[in-house]
Amino acid sequence: MSTILESRQINKSYANHLALKNLDLEVPRGSIFGLLGPNGAGKTTFIRIINQIIAADSGAIIIDGQNLNPSHIEIIGYLPEERGLYKKMKVGDQLLYFARLKGLSRSQALDKLKVWFKKWEINDWWGMKVEDLSKGMQQKIQFIGTVIHEPKLIILDEPFSGFDPINANLIKDEILELRENGSSVIFSTHRMESVEEICDHVALINKAVKILDGPKKKIKEEYRSDTYILEHRGEFTSNGSFSLVHSENLEDEKVRSILKLNSGTPNDMLKELIQKTEVLSFVEKIPSMNDIFISKVNEVNKQ
């Protein structure tokens, strides 16, 4: 798979603060790339460099095979965390303005906007002023403005902020559809459940440095810990092939136990358990991206 964006040894400092140090990243074409990190890690700085809002002190950004340049504005869609709409403008006029800035003619923009307004059933919003819309409605408008020109690269900074669950799912489905239609997405968020649902690749930045990078599936595989969740009735003891990490009582005399496999296979452990207790369910505890995020950041912070 080719890349839509590469960053090579990007460095950026503000006065005495190091924002990014030797950042190397590759965003695969046609992927949803999760850009993760604690507050102040350097994510927003990196996004602003890509969008040419600020410049790196050193290093290079390659987009679609070319060094970053002003022409890339037309193939990038950027939804910042701090939304920016003109409150006094009417919704239709504002979206036409955004579309023209991205290189669309008026007729092209109108055609595309008609599709979006029909799809989201918001035709009656066209003549409304932005200030008369709720926060969630405004964010829908800004999302449309971000993707109206069908950009090759879409950068979304906390796109679900302020949305209720229904509209968050609506935006999630749109992001997946944009990927299916050929766009590549850089997705910056603190919502690990969203990363679990839609990201193909992830990179974790902490204190200006990349500390984790790769396909989400591969990363989760690397962090497997041979830990299993057992729901059962009745006590049991181990012969040493596994250890009891934690246990809690549930309803109806059920117990949930967390077990660590020390030797043998999961099947061996299950066979032993069946002989000692009434097994109700037995599943591997796969680490979540939230677990990995916290573990990796804490590990680096202790160094």
Order of strands, sheet of 66-67, starting from the edge strand that comes earlier in the sequence: 17-28, 3-14, 58-63, 66-67
Q: Is residue 230 part of a domain?
A: yes
pLDDT (tens digit per residue) in 80-104: 887 778 889 999 999 999 999 888 9
Which residues have C-beta within 8 Å of that of residue 120, sequence separation ≥ 6?
Answer: 140, 144, 170
Helices vs strands, H then E, count in the chain: 9, 14
Same domain, 148 and 257: no
Whichever domain contains 31, its CATH number is 3.40.50.300
How far apart CA 200 and CA 215 sit, in angstroms, is 6
Number of residues that make up the chain: 303
- Beta strands 153-157 and 76-79 are parallel
Order of strands, sheet of 242-249, starting from the edge strand that comes earlier in the sequence: 242-249, 255-261, 227-233, 278-284
- The one-letter code for the residue type at 218 is K
Per-residue pLDDT, 213? 94
- Give percent above pLDDT 90 in the chain: 72
Same domain, 54 and 194: yes
Split into its structural domains, the chain has a count of 2
pLDDT (tens digit per residue) in 131-186: 999 888 898 999 999 999 999 999 999 888 778 888 888 889 999 999 999 999 99
Same domain, 191 and 265: no
Helix (H, G, I), strand (E, B) or coil at 252: coil
pLDDT (tens digit per residue) in 11-36: 999 988 999 999 999 999 999 999 99
Owning domain of residue 262:
225-285
How far apart CA 101 and CA 95 sit, in angstroms, is 10
> pTM score, two decimals?
0.86
Phi and psi at residue 114, to the nearest 5°: -60, -40
Domain boundary among 169, 195, 218: 218
CA-to-CA separations, 66 to 4, 61, 88, 287, in angstroms, rounded: 10, 8, 38, 38
Q: What do you get for the CA distance between the two ends of the chain, in Å?
A: 35
Phi and psi at residue 225, to the nearest 5°: -130, 20
How far apart CA 162 and CA 51 sit, in angstroms, is 24
Query: Residue holding tokens 């099947």?
Result: 267
Per-residue pLDDT, 194? 85
Same domain, 246 and 278: yes
Same domain, 183 and 250: no
Q: How confident is the model at residue 73 (pLDDT cuts 50, 70, 90)?
A: confident
How far apart CA 72 and CA 15 sit, in angstroms, is 29
Per-residue pLDDT, 127? 94
Q: Is the pLDDT of residue 114 over 60?
A: yes
Per-residue pLDDT, 254? 95
Same domain, 251 and 210: no
Domain boundary among 218, 233, 256: 218
Same domain, 147 and 214: yes
Q: Is the pLDDT of residue 125 over 70?
A: yes
Mean pLDDT throughout 248-252?
93
Same domain, 68 and 174: yes
Same domain, 173 and 32: yes
Per-residue pLDDT, 72? 92
Average pLDDT, the chain: 92
Same domain, 179 and 262: no
Q: Is the pLDDT of residue 303 over 80?
A: no
The answer to which of 43-47, 57-61, 156-160 has the lowest mean pLDDT is: 156-160
Same domain, 199 and 254: no
Domain boundary among 162, 185, 218: 218
Q: Is the pLDDT of residue 1 over 80?
A: no
Per-residue pLDDT, 161? 78
pLDDT (tens digit per residue) in 188-224: 987 788 888 899 999 999 999 999 999 999 999 999 9
Helix (H, G, I), strand (E, B) or coil at 121: coil
Same domain, 137 and 275: no
Distance of CA 182 to the CA centre of its chain: 18
Which residues have C-beta within 8 Å of that of residue 284, sequence separation ≥ 6?
Answer: 224, 227, 228, 229, 266
Mean pLDDT throughout 240-267?
93
